[in-house]
Structure 1
Amino acid sequence: MQELIGGSDIWSRLRPYLVSAQRRDIAIAYVTSAGVLPLQGEDRIVVDASEEAIAGGATDPALLLRWIRSGVKVWSHPDLHAKMIVTDSHAMIGSANASINSTNHLQEAALLTDDSAVRRSSLDMIDRWASASARLTAGEAEDLIPLFRIRPRSTRPTRWTTIVPRPLHRLMFVDSAVTHSVPKSVARSQQAAEQTVSASDRLVLEWLEVYAEDEFDDGHLVCQIEAGVGVWAPQQVVYIIENRGRKWLGLLTDPDLPPHPRADLRRHLGTPINRDKWIHDPAHIGAILAYWNL
């Protein structure tokens, strides 16, 4: 049997073959959708779990960790781009990553066959990729999780010329937090993020730990209130890192902008300065920015 499957629903058509198989050997570069590959036990998968793939959102380390803890052998090959599945009865070779886009949006194609020679040669190829790869441990996969949470997804250097996003979304006054110990995996993610700001004129990246349940997103603005110092100039959220119930904001900052007394800013605005409350009015946000000539 040999069948060419195409369209935006190839995973739903391949799934019965995957579910009924006794064993699955897989080489798929990028995996983010848990429902696509029903891996368990002695199954094996080769993926691209490089830091570039993780930070870019192409491979989800939390999914890899779940598989590893269930007994699946996970290997990482940074140059992998193949999409190949071998079961005890079939081989599937095609274009689709195990991603949400591939299951819902993209037009993909796959060749499904029960030819024993194709199965054998495909399995040999996966063996070669696995032997040239590094097998991931649970600890290594867990350390990669905060890197996946970095946003924006591109880690290429970005030239920011202003801390002011367009359009304006919302702004919040927050207390300047005391810096606590940072896990090594988070520190590594922060260093990777800081490299993407290195191309910007004057601007730097500062980090602020907030409550995990606080809802921040890219483009939001933050003004830190520091006791005994005053109110610091607005900073733009450009990165968010989450790790084990903790959350850090990467804030695009102009270090040349000084803090001002809270009372002076309140007189300028003509309204109270309330902590931890979102300001949505563009005119109100504009007045705050104007205080620092932004």
Structure 2
Amino acid sequence: MGTTFHGPNPWPHITRAIRTRGPRLAAIAYLGLDAPDLLPLRANDVLIVNASKAAVRAHATSPAVLAHYLHKDVRVLSSPTLHAKVIATNRRAVIGSANASVNSTFADDAVIITDDPEILAQARKFINGIDEITEVDQIFIDNATREWAIGRAVPIPGVSGRVHDPETDFLPSSLTRIFVKHAVDYKPNPTEQHLIHKQQPQQSTTAGPVAKYQLQSLRLDKPSSITRGDIVIVVSADNEWIYPPAVVASEPLRIPRSGGAVLYFLRIRTDLHPISLTDSEKILTALGHPGSRLRTDHYVRSPILRTALLGLWNL
């Protein structure tokens, strides 16, 4: 085949070029409603998109399309800084300007399609090296659907306006509700195992970047005022470790036949690590918070203490 140039309407050539056997890697920033026809992916493929709040609110990336690929068993990831359009199959690389959307089919876009082994290897390396990524699961899609309904209020990163800082996008804009909770040592019953399996993204052995954000379950023995969007800082049951702040990603799920226990799903950052509870108390005391009460479950009322707690992980 060699190397060929296609424009100003490259999508028929792209669609034809990627119909190959074996897993495919695609990093396409924005997905419109026409994406499944333009970019026909299947199980074991990896798709990285820009499904940030800004992109979804601007209707540049469709939550319905994310759900479509997820139901096809495609591993879907989101990177808030992605603007590239690169596809790598086992035989070809596609590099260009075309998003998978109807707007792209009317725009003057262009791509290079090549079977050059060196370029193909570089394309794969580029896609595997994309960082600041989040695994797209059903909870992610539910949140994205709400953002889509808000409308076109936020500029698209890399197209207009400034790029959002992914480090701060992890936390909600309002940090007034932070809770300290102790982990419960328990073995999930079959009902809980079903809930956890249903909400967690399916593990994939396909090559691709390592997700920076993952889901984790938290069981509480009785209902709580905690709700979606709150911050929870979990302390180990033996009071030895304090775990990094996690964002509540679900409403409480009542566990049948558990005596009133509820299950939450938390979104965590995998690059943040637990800290010794004793060391944390010493740091907070030095900052003027000798009564941080990290050994008891409570709602953190003090704005200054909330800031100090997040500062333990430089957040």
Give the number of the structure whose alpha-carbon radius of gyration is greater.
Answer: 1
- Which structure has greater strand proportion? 1
